[in-house]
Amino acid sequence: MSDDPSTGSGHGTEIFTASGIGRTFGSGRNQVTAVEDVSFALVEKEITTIVGESGSGKSTIARMVLGLLPVSSGTMTFDGKDVTKLSTAARIAYWRDVQAVFQDPFSSFNQFFTVRRLLNRSLRMLDRVSAKERLEEALGHVGMDLSVLDRFPHQLSGGQRQRIMIARALMLRPRLLIADEATSMLDASLRVNILNVLTDLRDELGMTVLFITHDIGQACYLADKVLVMEKGILVEQGPTDDVIFNPQHEYTQRLLADVPRLHESA
Protein backbone atom coordinates (compact mmCIF):
# COMPACT_ATOMS: atom_id res chain seq x y z
CA MET A 1 0.00 0.00 0.00
CA SER A 2 2.70 2.43 0.97
CA ASP A 3 4.48 1.78 -2.33
CA ASP A 4 1.77 3.43 -4.33
CA PRO A 5 2.41 7.19 -4.54
CA SER A 6 -0.95 7.73 -6.20
CA THR A 7 -2.85 6.64 -3.10
CA GLY A 8 -5.36 9.32 -2.23
CA SER A 9 -8.15 11.25 -3.81
CA GLY A 10 -6.77 10.85 -7.30
CA HIS A 11 -7.69 14.47 -8.15
CA GLY A 12 -5.35 17.38 -8.64
CA THR A 13 -1.80 17.70 -9.82
CA GLU A 14 1.00 15.97 -8.03
CA ILE A 15 3.43 18.78 -7.31
CA PHE A 16 5.96 16.60 -5.48
CA THR A 17 6.64 12.87 -5.56
CA ALA A 18 8.94 10.67 -3.51
CA SER A 19 9.61 7.15 -4.79
CA GLY A 20 11.26 4.66 -2.49
CA ILE A 21 13.26 7.28 -0.60
CA GLY A 22 15.46 6.12 2.24
CA ARG A 23 18.11 7.51 4.53
CA THR A 24 20.67 5.83 6.70
CA PHE A 25 23.08 7.47 9.14
CA GLY A 26 26.45 6.12 10.22
CA SER A 27 27.97 2.83 9.08
CA GLY A 28 28.67 -0.70 10.24
CA ARG A 29 27.26 -1.54 13.63
CA ASN A 30 26.32 2.07 14.28
CA GLN A 31 24.21 2.35 11.16
CA VAL A 32 20.72 3.72 11.76
CA THR A 33 18.00 3.46 9.13
CA ALA A 34 16.00 6.62 9.76
CA VAL A 35 13.73 6.27 6.70
CA GLU A 36 13.20 3.18 4.55
CA ASP A 37 11.59 2.91 1.12
CA VAL A 38 9.01 5.66 1.52
CA SER A 39 6.80 6.67 -1.43
CA PHE A 40 4.16 9.40 -1.50
CA ALA A 41 2.87 12.26 -3.59
CA LEU A 42 1.88 15.77 -2.56
CA VAL A 43 -1.10 17.06 -4.48
CA GLU A 44 -1.25 20.75 -5.32
CA LYS A 45 -3.50 22.83 -2.99
CA GLU A 46 -3.73 20.04 -0.45
CA ILE A 47 -2.45 19.72 3.09
CA THR A 48 -0.66 16.45 3.72
CA THR A 49 0.50 15.61 7.20
CA ILE A 50 3.14 13.14 8.27
CA VAL A 51 2.38 11.79 11.72
CA GLY A 52 4.41 9.45 13.90
CA GLU A 53 6.08 9.18 17.26
CA SER A 54 9.44 10.72 18.08
CA GLY A 55 12.21 9.09 16.05
CA SER A 56 9.88 7.70 13.37
CA GLY A 57 11.73 9.60 10.62
CA LYS A 58 9.42 12.58 10.05
CA SER A 59 12.08 15.30 10.23
CA THR A 60 14.46 13.26 8.12
CA ILE A 61 11.80 13.16 5.39
CA ALA A 62 11.23 16.92 5.72
CA ARG A 63 14.95 17.59 5.38
CA MET A 64 15.20 15.34 2.32
CA VAL A 65 12.19 16.98 0.65
CA LEU A 66 13.80 20.37 1.27
CA GLY A 67 17.13 19.21 -0.17
CA LEU A 68 18.93 19.83 3.10
CA LEU A 69 19.83 16.16 3.45
CA PRO A 70 20.76 13.86 0.54
CA VAL A 71 18.70 10.69 0.16
CA SER A 72 20.53 7.36 0.55
CA SER A 73 18.16 5.77 -1.95
CA GLY A 74 15.13 6.58 -4.07
CA THR A 75 14.13 9.58 -6.16
CA MET A 76 12.12 12.78 -5.72
CA THR A 77 10.49 15.08 -8.26
CA PHE A 78 9.06 18.60 -8.05
CA ASP A 79 6.87 19.75 -10.93
CA GLY A 80 7.87 16.57 -12.73
CA LYS A 81 11.59 17.43 -12.56
CA ASP A 82 14.09 15.33 -10.67
CA VAL A 83 15.18 17.09 -7.48
CA THR A 84 16.93 14.12 -5.90
CA LYS A 85 20.44 15.55 -6.26
CA LEU A 86 20.50 19.31 -6.68
CA SER A 87 23.57 21.44 -7.27
CA THR A 88 23.95 24.39 -4.89
CA ALA A 89 22.59 26.81 -7.51
CA ALA A 90 19.65 24.55 -8.33
CA ARG A 91 18.87 24.11 -4.63
CA ILE A 92 18.70 27.89 -4.14
CA ALA A 93 16.28 28.12 -7.07
CA TYR A 94 14.27 25.22 -5.57
CA TRP A 95 13.93 27.17 -2.31
CA ARG A 96 11.95 29.84 -4.12
CA ASP A 97 9.28 27.21 -4.59
CA VAL A 98 9.75 25.17 -1.44
CA GLN A 99 10.07 26.87 1.95
CA ALA A 100 10.08 25.46 5.45
CA VAL A 101 9.21 26.44 9.00
CA PHE A 102 11.00 24.34 11.63
CA GLN A 103 10.39 23.85 15.31
CA ASP A 104 12.15 26.13 17.80
CA PRO A 105 12.63 28.70 15.08
CA PHE A 106 14.40 31.48 16.91
CA SER A 107 17.02 29.37 18.67
CA SER A 108 19.55 29.97 15.92
CA PHE A 109 19.03 33.71 15.75
CA ASN A 110 20.87 36.48 17.53
CA GLN A 111 18.63 37.72 20.34
CA PHE A 112 19.97 41.27 19.88
CA PHE A 113 18.70 41.56 16.31
CA THR A 114 15.30 43.02 15.57
CA VAL A 115 12.73 41.08 13.60
CA ARG A 116 13.54 43.35 10.62
CA ARG A 117 17.14 42.20 10.68
CA LEU A 118 16.14 38.57 11.11
CA LEU A 119 13.98 38.83 8.00
CA ASN A 120 16.59 40.70 5.96
CA ARG A 121 18.12 37.64 4.36
CA SER A 122 14.81 36.56 2.91
CA LEU A 123 14.02 40.14 1.87
CA ARG A 124 17.26 40.31 -0.08
CA MET A 125 15.95 37.52 -2.32
CA LEU A 126 13.23 39.93 -3.48
CA ASP A 127 13.62 43.18 -5.36
CA ARG A 128 13.27 46.32 -3.28
CA VAL A 129 9.92 47.39 -4.68
CA SER A 130 8.14 44.16 -3.93
CA ALA A 131 9.91 43.48 -0.62
CA LYS A 132 7.85 45.81 1.59
CA GLU A 133 4.62 44.86 -0.11
CA ARG A 134 5.36 41.15 0.21
CA LEU A 135 6.38 41.56 3.82
CA GLU A 136 3.20 43.40 4.71
CA GLU A 137 1.11 40.85 2.86
CA ALA A 138 2.90 37.90 4.49
CA LEU A 139 2.52 39.38 7.97
CA GLY A 140 -1.15 40.01 7.18
CA HIS A 141 -1.63 36.32 6.41
CA VAL A 142 -0.52 35.44 9.93
CA GLY A 143 -2.49 38.28 11.57
CA MET A 144 0.42 40.69 12.17
CA ASP A 145 1.55 44.04 10.79
CA LEU A 146 4.77 45.94 10.07
CA SER A 147 5.01 47.27 13.64
CA VAL A 148 6.45 43.93 14.69
CA LEU A 149 9.62 44.63 12.69
CA ASP A 150 11.22 46.79 15.37
CA ARG A 151 10.71 44.27 18.15
CA PHE A 152 13.38 41.96 19.54
CA PRO A 153 12.82 38.20 19.90
CA HIS A 154 12.51 38.41 23.70
CA GLN A 155 9.64 40.89 23.30
CA LEU A 156 7.59 38.31 21.42
CA SER A 157 5.63 35.31 22.58
CA GLY A 158 6.37 31.84 21.21
CA GLY A 159 3.24 32.08 19.11
CA GLN A 160 4.26 35.44 17.63
CA ARG A 161 7.71 34.10 16.79
CA GLN A 162 6.22 31.11 15.08
CA ARG A 163 3.90 33.32 13.05
CA ILE A 164 6.84 35.53 12.02
CA MET A 165 8.67 32.46 10.80
CA ILE A 166 5.66 31.43 8.75
CA ALA A 167 5.51 34.99 7.35
CA ARG A 168 9.21 34.78 6.53
CA ALA A 169 8.59 31.63 4.50
CA LEU A 170 5.51 33.17 2.85
CA MET A 171 7.37 36.27 1.61
CA LEU A 172 8.88 34.16 -1.15
CA ARG A 173 5.42 32.91 -2.09
CA PRO A 174 6.48 29.28 -2.10
CA ARG A 175 4.29 26.74 -3.84
CA LEU A 176 5.07 24.16 -1.19
CA LEU A 177 5.36 25.01 2.51
CA ILE A 178 6.85 22.46 4.87
CA ALA A 179 5.91 23.01 8.51
CA ASP A 180 7.79 20.71 10.89
CA GLU A 181 6.10 20.72 14.32
CA ALA A 182 5.41 24.37 13.58
CA THR A 183 2.92 24.56 16.42
CA SER A 184 5.10 22.90 19.05
CA MET A 185 5.72 26.07 21.07
CA LEU A 186 2.12 27.14 21.20
CA ASP A 187 -0.62 26.71 23.73
CA ALA A 188 -3.82 25.01 22.60
CA SER A 189 -5.72 28.08 21.33
CA LEU A 190 -2.73 29.54 19.47
CA ARG A 191 -2.05 26.12 18.00
CA VAL A 192 -5.52 26.03 16.51
CA ASN A 193 -4.89 29.56 15.27
CA ILE A 194 -1.77 28.48 13.33
CA LEU A 195 -3.52 25.41 11.98
CA ASN A 196 -6.22 27.77 10.70
CA VAL A 197 -3.56 30.00 9.12
CA LEU A 198 -2.29 26.96 7.22
CA THR A 199 -5.77 26.02 5.99
CA ASP A 200 -6.34 29.66 4.93
CA LEU A 201 -3.11 29.56 2.93
CA ARG A 202 -4.32 26.46 1.18
CA ASP A 203 -7.78 27.91 0.52
CA GLU A 204 -6.82 31.50 -0.36
CA LEU A 205 -3.42 31.11 -2.00
CA GLY A 206 -3.75 27.55 -3.24
CA MET A 207 -0.63 26.64 -1.32
CA THR A 208 0.45 23.04 -0.94
CA VAL A 209 1.43 22.23 2.64
CA LEU A 210 3.40 19.36 4.16
CA PHE A 211 2.74 19.46 7.91
CA ILE A 212 4.75 17.30 10.27
CA THR A 213 3.56 16.42 13.74
CA HIS A 214 3.61 13.70 16.38
CA ASP A 215 -0.02 14.53 17.25
CA ILE A 216 -2.54 12.60 15.15
CA GLY A 217 -5.28 14.88 16.53
CA GLN A 218 -3.63 17.89 14.87
CA ALA A 219 -2.93 15.85 11.75
CA CYS A 220 -6.58 14.95 11.35
CA TYR A 221 -7.84 18.45 12.17
CA LEU A 222 -5.82 19.92 9.36
CA ALA A 223 -5.06 17.42 6.67
CA ASP A 224 -6.54 16.37 3.40
CA LYS A 225 -4.24 13.37 3.50
CA VAL A 226 -2.35 11.64 6.27
CA LEU A 227 0.87 9.63 6.10
CA VAL A 228 1.64 7.52 9.17
CA MET A 229 5.29 6.76 9.96
CA GLU A 230 6.48 4.08 12.36
CA LYS A 231 10.21 3.48 12.90
CA GLY A 232 11.21 4.79 9.48
CA ILE A 233 8.47 2.97 7.61
CA LEU A 234 5.37 4.48 6.05
CA VAL A 235 2.78 2.08 7.45
CA GLU A 236 -0.37 3.78 6.19
CA GLN A 237 -1.43 6.65 3.95
CA GLY A 238 -4.71 7.92 2.63
CA PRO A 239 -7.39 10.60 2.74
CA THR A 240 -7.87 11.80 6.32
CA ASP A 241 -11.38 10.42 6.75
CA ASP A 242 -10.26 6.94 5.68
CA VAL A 243 -7.36 7.01 8.12
CA ILE A 244 -9.51 8.26 11.03
CA PHE A 245 -12.60 6.14 10.47
CA ASN A 246 -11.06 3.06 8.95
CA PRO A 247 -7.42 2.81 10.06
CA GLN A 248 -5.80 -0.26 8.55
CA HIS A 249 -2.62 -0.48 10.54
CA GLU A 250 -2.42 -1.44 14.21
CA TYR A 251 0.02 1.44 14.84
CA THR A 252 -2.46 4.00 13.43
CA GLN A 253 -5.21 2.50 15.59
CA ARG A 254 -2.97 2.91 18.63
CA LEU A 255 -2.17 6.55 17.79
CA LEU A 256 -5.89 7.25 17.40
CA ALA A 257 -6.70 5.53 20.67
CA ASP A 258 -4.24 7.89 22.40
CA VAL A 259 -5.95 11.06 21.12
CA PRO A 260 -8.23 11.72 24.13
CA ARG A 261 -5.32 11.15 26.47
CA LEU A 262 -3.17 13.65 24.55
CA HIS A 263 -5.86 16.27 24.74
CA GLU A 264 -6.43 15.75 28.44
CA SER A 265 -2.75 16.35 29.11
CA ALA A 266 -2.55 19.41 26.79
Ligand X SMILES: Nc1ncnc2c1ncn2[C@@H]1O[C@H](COP(=O)(O)OP(=O)(O)OP(=O)(O)O)[C@@H](O)[C@H]1O
Kind plus residue range of the DSSP H or E element containing 35: strand 32-43
- Distance of alpha carbon 141 from alpha carbon 185, whole angstroms: 19
Cα 163-205-10 angle, rounded to 5 deg: 115
Q: Give me the amino acid identity at 160.
A: Q
| Of the residues 57, 67, 153, 238, which one makes contact with ligand X according to CB under 6 A | 57
Site string for ligand X, 199-238 (x = CB under 6 A): ---------------x------------------------
Separation in Å, CA 165 to CA 17, 46, 127, 254:
26, 21, 20, 33
Number of residues that bind ligand X (CB under 6 A): 13
| Of the residues 58, 163, 175, 225, which one makes contact with ligand X according to CB under 6 A | 58
Shortest approach of ligand X to residue 156 CB, angstroms? 24
Please identify, using beta-carbon distances, which residue of 57 and 247 lies nearer to ligand X: 57
52 binds ligand X (CB under 6 A): yes
105 binds ligand X (CB under 6 A): no
49 binds ligand X (CB under 6 A): no
Non-local (6+) Cβ contacts of 155 within 8 A are: none
Put residue 178 in one of left, alpha, beta given phi > 0 → left and psi -120 to 50 → alpha.
beta
Report DSSP letters for 107-168, one per residue. Answer: GGS-TTS-HHHHHHHHHHTS-HHHHHHHHHHHHHHTT--GGGGG--GGGS-HHHHHHHHHHH
Please identify, using beta-carbon distances, which residue of 72 and 114 lies nearer to ligand X: 72
Site string for ligand X, 155-194 (x = CB under 6 A): ----------------------------------------
Separation in Å, CA 194 to CA 154, 191, 216:
20, 5, 16
Please identify, using beta-carbon distances, which residue of 15 and 61 lies nearer to ligand X: 61
**Please, which of residues 62-91 interact with ligand X by CB under 6 A?**
none
**Among the candidate windows 56-64, 71-79, 114-122, 126-134, which touches ligand X by CB under 6 A?**
56-64
**Among the candidate windows 51-59, 113-121, 139-147, 153-161, which touches ligand X by CB under 6 A?**
51-59
Please identify, using beta-carbon distances, which residue of 8 and 52 lies nearer to ligand X: 52
Burial bucket for residue 64 (CB in 10 Å: 0-12, 13-18, 19+): buried
Query: 3-state class of 81 per DSSP?
Result: strand
**Please, which of residues 8-47 interact with ligand X by CB under 6 A?**
25-26, 32, 34
| Of the residues 10, 28, 29, 54, which one makes contact with ligand X according to CB under 6 A | 54
Q: By CB under 6 A, name the binding residues for ligand X.
A: 25-26, 32, 34, 52, 54-60, 214
